[in-house]
Structure 1
């Protein structure tokens, strides 16, 4: 752990005139300077930022930034607060002209008025009068004003020139006026008060060879008394020197923070090699019998940590040494020049500043290149970068204050961390809480014994207890995401991925020793808790935050190995009622089940109550002794029991807040959120409660067939479906009370939602007297959706609300700079998941108006409200088929329905909702309903549920479109014959393995009975049954298609498997029309050539193959789809405009003419052709199909395709940049752009974990380019 030495808070305030922030370099210089100097408050002047434009600079060090901008690119001020501060800003008062900004804030309980000021050079008295009048109205508490006041207060000491003249004396009107205002406000010049006899200056005028001190920090008397230091810095990257003061605040605890590996070190091959060698030597020398594996492992962390700290420190020192030397030299020159200004000294100062500036630019340009590379490879595509842009906010973990138990504010960061620690220490040590019932071993065993839990099989137990294999560790490391914060040891996942080959043998030995002996080193069990505010709750109360445990990565790898084993056996011991974190189950299984149960209750007018239980801190309160006993009760024993229990032996934690760590505390209960094993363990410890409720004869649910459904669970989200409400609720709460006594489970009654169905008012009123639930009348919230008390209301309570959210979100994105393809990607990653969630959890019939309106909303956003230039069907086509992949909302909706429909071909035992829906259509099955040619005659009193009807309607539509045969289709279930042949019983054939008609048919004829006997062992006495079936099928056999559709194949082999929805969606989108699209027909006419569909697809997908940049893909798509508006098209829209080419002004400006045939553009394409030859020493005939559309690029040698593509792409990018002009791109433009793109392509694999060996093997291509064009670029 790294401790910062200061025992008091050095509260530093700096003011600085930055002379404009409109260039990326200046913004980067400010950010780097501020990061290096670390002022707590930074007052900035002359930002030159314009009112109404996004102004906030992304900077994690200064998350709180407030601006006062100007209507023009002049003036502008800002105030930044360092991340270590938690200012509670109560008022912001910006000057509309951008001359000043006044902020009222509270820092550590003290009120401050802080102002940043940029005074004009003229009419100063008027400005001061206005500013101080506003200040006087607003001021509260202590006052700090930082700014460029553009006037020296004292002529003799605040100015210096080679010839002391032409300086305004301090007796000037403006200076006297300013002094008067300062005196009236009781404000003091902080620097002058600390340095009464010194001369120093903040600005140097080169034309007048004159120094002056015109930048100040003014403070009130109380702040002045706390002043410890004030100094003027060095002018380096801006023409003003910074002025900084330090204020001594009240005592505070020292800031502490854990060391964390700088992951960029592992991008350096030399450092990786050095560390690899050290690791090999360490393990070679220390792997001896007298050193235990845990000791060996924990000591290795100290060794590698020391090496990495040493390397980082040395690198930083080497990087900064030249800068330190130049800064020292500049300081000496400034001191000389201030004492005696001379032109020669001023010239040296300017030269030294230039060298410093060059060094800073090298660093800034490197980081800018990294930023540009990030945008080149990830910008405007479905990525975290785009998601971050769309969210429009920087996630801040800062907590400015917390309320204690008495309601008083806690603002000190360390005190906030300790307040959380106190709260979590109580929560995670319930054995010390006198108000919490303490479980007794006998009570635990009795409860579990009565639950009669299922037992794990011996085969599964053997798998769980098998020694840990290296492959399991490799899988765990590979599947653990990078970029996550590490635990207290500071070693992130990338460390384990980088040195996996060296660490793997030792991890295997370590984990197996722990696995067998059940003894984890305490150091590895430490955790850092970070807090995340819960949505919609006040961020001033500790309970309103979600604790996330940052665990050491080696512990997470170990836990993931156990989780990977347990998840395979979990479905065998956890009932289907639980759909969360269980393999093969999902949330929609629960919601579809609940929809059917609600409909059943309403149809039978059954009095029912739905209870959505709210468990307080469910994961955090798990009792460990109960957990261990539960694992045993399921039959877990041996190594696996020790392996799990050791994770809960002696863990400790500290809470982190704003760089401050609380005191460590022990944990004696709870499963840690952040551990891969936690959700699986929670499912196991919750199952005894669920089974006890399920088995209770005194609790009645909703009966469907032979099964009585009493509850549905998604992890800790429990919903009870109870009939006979009075008795059932009473007995359910008895069980919940008993469960609470043995497990620390705590039900929050007032947050538990209750939705009565068909319950008489008197009975409702009686229940309301006994239970203080949140009583609902129409809907109940479960898993983020609104379950309505009747199915028709389900749509109105969910879908219109979602559409409004989508429209609002898209409206908020309008001002963002996102490209055309970027807007499509935004829909895919931010909007589509929300729609799919509702489609899957609420599979009801949607009105076409909703689907159309949603699609129109999305299309309007993609086209920025303008008329679409490309037909929707092409936009929605899959990208691999030449389209854009814009989501078709209607087809996604249908795919979601059909994905669940495919499960009708499974046994009803797979899902509860299958059982419920099938029970309602007896004596038929869902499979028969699906494949029947005519509607089946249901038993009297039975009705088909809405979810079933919806699926059938969608299915009927698709059968017609996709030419799927109802009967007899090859996929038709065998038992559908029972609906056609009276008194036919086919069950024994099902048992022998004949499930579908496909198994009876070969080459459109029935198999002989002898063939079926041989294949399926049919009994001889079933010959008559066979003859009946053959007689029925013979008329149909000739018309049965030889090939199954893709959906039929899915139903037959993959129903219920992963990725079903996306595969079915692709099937729905498949284009059955062989006619070439209109844009292809136009291109072939222009080019006087014909290409096959395969050739068009190869050309269309070339950009995906050869470039990582979305802009290149967008450019190619726009050309392919003839997106660009040429003079001939513009003439059709605006008849007054000329149809002639902008360049030659003689020929008609068609698309092919503008891009290729114009005589003025021909020399450019000649230059492109020559560049291809010069670079690759290979003559490639440059035709229009190749140059414009990539036709034939796949026929080139493999190692030249990428280079050819990028040269041609650069050419295609340059032409639209000069659209509507007569200017022609030059060869130099082409080389420069190609070089830039190839540089990014070359660097991308180095910075990507997903880089393939093929990517890295193509590096020689760039050498060819560099060698050929070095003299030009």
Structure 2
């Protein structure tokens, strides 16, 4: 077989794989109904279906990325913005036509599917991620619907889902899992954690199931017809070897690249949450009950990343797999059991292996990776940070051969090396040795262009890290970044009214989350204990998190002020998170000194 024939055959296999993924093999599925779905009010439902205004359409255009890859029509949003005065009215009329009919012309909802490899050496279709490059007209319609949906979706999505909802954070789940593992170990309880892998989740979602879920959530008929029109009119062709295949239509699934898709998926995934609530109510499944009348945890969701928590027993685990099978039959969302893993706490390795065999999944070991971050690990150990060290070394090895100026190295130190650890630093306090190692990498690269040779540093590194106002280059200290990111948890604990992660912390450590008893911080889980210790340590040095803010009307509100020492001088950085108080001028008081300059910004800007 010639190389050309092999290439053509590989392209045909890719195309057939995409088409197969979007063809429903079981057109007739059982209905999924429950009284436990959260419901929209009549007012919210009617607001979703209100007439679309010209300003909404214009706002949607400006919210779309200007330089994103175009779809089949070839128009970027930079072009549409530049010529909005000439074409804006025509685009608005196209959106109004969709509003009236609920249909989109076939050519306006076409897309190119590009297959992005998930691994370095992809061999099968499953090793690729299909990303849709969608036409501009449909994307504007989708964006208008998304902006409306964002306002009401928190009302119908349970606290266990932390994806795509305002004021919910990707690290809420890892924090909860960390603290629950720590508590289970100390209480010597038996439990299992089951991390499941959905197989092509976005591609396999059944449209009738999604429509049924929205109906049970009290979404109106017109809104559901709009969503059905968006899904059923979609067509696509696959980009293979630089050219496009024959266009095909969709029978199921939602497209990665469509602004609507993430929100439609979490509404569909709400069915799994409802199924788990029903199972626990009827004692089919037993979750983990936290002390002090705390929440009962059965699962945590981040879009299609789901981890289940249950009391240890074979029947409990088998019942869970039966629930997942029933959910699959209704929704089309299938669990790949061979890629799913079960973890045991308080039991022997043999017991874990026997349980894994009984549910046909793999055995996992604690600590493990969840949402891209290690959980259940003692992060005070240097060895647990090897992944971050390797990331630094990999990036630096790629730049070693490049002839970079001081300006180029400065930019890379700020934009790349300064952000590589942000995700880990947001949950864990890095050991002093790790901070020292990473800073030494940055210092050697900045002064010498390589980490192999330690060239002379003409200025103390602390001065280079300092901000421009203080005579530095503004690279920023990794230690200060770590402390500031951890300090956000204190602020969230004090300001969030009702969140699942906060309920878990209160159940385990009391109403004040342990901040009122810092001497007991060592008894807490490593993750939350370091956050409590951080507050206590900075307070001893006179750096209080809690300060008083007053607005023009004389009201006062407690807010977070992250503080740190830099070059022997106190630097105070204020996090404006005053979202619920509207636009106002603020006078900020720090002890006996005042910053009289008023700061005016919108709630959205303050939340940024």
Into which bin does the TM-score normalised by the smaller protein fall? 0.7 to 0.9
Matched, 1:889 2:502: no
What residue in structure 1 maps to residue 254 of structure 2?
671
Matched, 1:824 2:443: no
Q: Do 2:490 and 2:531's aligned partners in 1 also have CA atoms closer than 8 Å?
A: yes
What residue in structure 2 maps to residue 736 of structure 1?
324
Aligned pairs for 1:954-1033 within 5 A: 954-964=534-544
Q: Do 2:299 and 2:308's aligned partners in 1 also have CA atoms closer than 8 Å?
A: yes
Q: For the pair shown, which has the larger CA radius of gyration, 1 or 2?
A: 1
Q: 1:784 to 1:867 in 2, by over 3 A?
A: same
What residue in structure 2 maps to residue 915 of structure 1?
503
Q: 1:765 to 1:531 in 2, by over 3 A?
A: closer
For each residue in 1:989-1016, what CA deviation from the matched residue of structure 2 results, as whole angstroms up to 9, or x when unmatched?
xxxx99879xxxxxxxxxxxxxxxxxxx
What residue in structure 2 maps to residue 186 of structure 1?
none
Q: 1:965 to 1:737 in 2, by over 3 A?
A: closer
Q: 1:539 to 1:1051 in 2, by over 3 A?
A: closer
Q: 1:797 to 1:772 in 2, by over 3 A?
A: farther
Residues of 2 paired with 1:949 and 1:775: CA distance? 29
Residue among 77, 80, 89 paired with 1:496 = 80
Matched, 1:108 2:7: no
Q: Do 2:115 and 2:128's aligned partners in 1 also have CA atoms closer than 8 Å?
A: yes
Return the offset for 1:557. 1.3
Residue among 58, 63, 77 paired with 1:479 = 63
Residue among 832, 851, 869 paired with 2:458 = 869
For each residue in 1:1100-1153, what CA deviation from the matched residue of structure 2 results, as whole angstroms up to 9, or x when unmatched?
xxxxxxxxxxxxxxxxxxxxxxxxxxxxxxxxxxxxxxxxxxxxxxxxxxxxxx
What residue in structure 2 maps to residue 566 of structure 1?
149
Q: 1:1051 to 1:555 in 2, by over 3 A?
A: closer
What residue in structure 1 maps to residue 7 of structure 2?
411
What residue in structure 1 maps to residue 596 of structure 2?
none
Residues of 1 paired with 2:362 and 2:191: CA distance? 16
Q: 1:703 to 1:869 in 2, by over 3 A?
A: same
Matched, 1:526 2:120: no
Return the offset for 1:641. 1.8
What residue in structure 1 maps to residue 49 of structure 2?
465
Residues of 2 paired with 1:937 and 1:782: CA distance? 28
Residue among 426, 446, 449 paired with 2:34 = 449
Residues of 2 paired with 1:656 and 1:813: CA distance? 32
Q: 1:459 to 1:821 in 2, by over 3 A?
A: farther
Return the offset for 1:460. 2.2
Q: Do 1:516 and 1:643's aligned partners in 2 also have CA atoms closer than 8 Å?
A: no
Q: 1:762 to 1:419 in 2, by over 3 A?
A: closer
For each residue in 1:124-162, what CA deviation from the matched residue of structure 2 results, as whole angstroms up to 9, or x when unmatched?
xxxxxxxxxxxxxxxxxxxxxxxxxxxxxxxxxxxxxxx
Residues of 1 paired with 2:446 and 2:152: CA distance? 46
Structure 1 unaligned residues grouped into runs of 5+: 1-87, 89-105, 110-409, 972-992, 998-1044, 1058-1071, 1073-1273
Aligned pairs for 1:502-651 within 5 A: 502-536=86-120, 538-651=121-234
For each residue in 1:1205-1249, what CA deviation from the matched residue of structure 2 results, as whole angstroms up to 9, or x when unmatched?
xxxxxxxxxxxxxxxxxxxxxxxxxxxxxxxxxxxxxxxxxxxxx
Normalised TM-score (structure 1): 0.42
Q: 1:1054 to 1:558 in 2, by over 3 A?
A: closer
Structure 2 unaligned residues grouped into runs of 5+: 449-453, 550-554, 560-570, 583-592, 594-608
Q: Secondary structure at the match of 1:655?
A: strand
What residue in structure 2 maps to residue 806 of structure 1?
392
Residues of 2 paired with 1:937 and 1:775: CA distance? 35
Matched, 1:944 2:521: no
Q: Secondary structure at the match of 1:580?
A: coil
Return the offset for 1:535. 2.1
Residues of 2 paired with 1:935 and 1:761: CA distance? 36
Return the offset for 1:509. 2.2
Q: 1:881 to 1:575 in 2, by over 3 A?
A: farther
Matched, 1:879 2:475: no
Residues of 1 paired with 2:169 and 2:366: CA distance? 25
Give the number of aligned pairs.
Answer: 559
Residues of 2 paired with 1:494 and 1:416: CA distance? 35
Q: Do 1:461 and 1:636's aligned partners in 2 also have CA atoms closer than 8 Å?
A: yes
Q: Do 1:785 and 1:798's aligned partners in 2 also have CA atoms closer than 8 Å?
A: no
What residue in structure 2 maps to residue 713 of structure 1?
301
What residue in structure 1 maps to residue 311 of structure 2?
723
Q: Do 1:524 and 1:552's aligned partners in 2 also have CA atoms closer than 8 Å?
A: yes
Residues of 2 paired with 1:522 and 1:1051: CA distance? 46
Residues of 1 paired with 2:480 and 2:430: CA distance? 12
Return the offset for 1:646. 0.8
Q: Secondary structure at the match of 1:577?
A: coil
What residue in structure 2 maps to residue 776 of structure 1?
364
Residue among 904, 916, 928 paired with 2:493 = 904
Residues of 2 paired with 1:551 and 1:1051: CA distance? 36
Residues of 1 paired with 2:78 and 2:544: CA distance? 50
Q: Do 1:563 and 1:676's aligned partners in 2 also have CA atoms closer than 8 Å?
A: yes
Q: Do 1:787 and 1:794's aligned partners in 2 also have CA atoms closer than 8 Å?
A: no
Q: Secondary structure at the match of 2:509?
A: coil
Q: 1:828 to 1:722 in 2, by over 3 A?
A: farther
What residue in structure 2 maps to residue 833 of structure 1?
419
Q: 1:559 to 1:815 in 2, by over 3 A?
A: same
Residues of 2 paired with 1:628 and 1:958: CA distance? 52
Return the offset for 1:962. 4.4
Aligned pairs for 1:28-47 within 5 A: none
Q: Do 2:391 and 2:420's aligned partners in 1 also have CA atoms closer than 8 Å?
A: no
Residues of 2 paired with 1:921 and 1:951: CA distance? 13
Aligned pairs for 1:150-299 within 5 A: none
Q: 1:1055 to 1:631 in 2, by over 3 A?
A: closer
Return the offset for 1:936. 7.5
Return the offset for 1:891. 0.4
Return the offset for 1:748. 0.6
For each residue in 1:594-643, what CA deviation from the matched residue of structure 2 results, as whole angstroms up to 9, or x when unmatched?
11111111111111111111111000001111111111111111432222
Matched, 1:746 2:313: no
Aligned pairs for 1:1121-1132 within 5 A: none
What residue in structure 1 maps to residue 588 of structure 2?
none
Q: Secondary structure at the match of 2:421?
A: helix
Q: Secondary structure at the match of 1:700?
A: coil
Matched, 1:686 2:269: yes
Q: Do 1:906 and 1:1055's aligned partners in 2 also have CA atoms closer than 8 Å?
A: no
Residues of 2 paired with 1:965 and 1:547: CA distance? 45
Return the offset for 1:556. 0.9
Q: Do 1:703 and 1:709's aligned partners in 2 also have CA atoms closer than 8 Å?
A: yes
Matched, 1:792 2:372: no
Return the offset for 1:669. 0.6
Return the offset for 1:825. 1.8
Return the offset for 1:737. 0.6
Q: Do 1:902 and 1:1051's aligned partners in 2 also have CA atoms closer than 8 Å?
A: no
Q: 1:483 to 1:694 in 2, by over 3 A?
A: same
Return the offset for 1:892. 0.6
Residues of 2 paired with 1:484 and 1:957: CA distance? 45
Return the offset for 1:1053. 4.1
Aligned pairs for 1:329-340 within 5 A: none
For each residue in 1:90-112, what CA deviation from the matched residue of structure 2 results, as whole angstroms up to 9, or x when unmatched?
xxxxxxxxxxxxxxxx6315xxx
Return the offset for 1:916. 1.4
Return the offset for 1:963. 4.4
CA RMSD in angstroms, aligned pairs only = 3.0
What residue in structure 2 maps to residue 925 of structure 1?
512
Residues of 2 paired with 1:605 and 1:952: CA distance? 24
Q: 1:996 to 1:658 in 2, by over 3 A?
A: closer
Q: Secondary structure at the match of 1:834?
A: coil
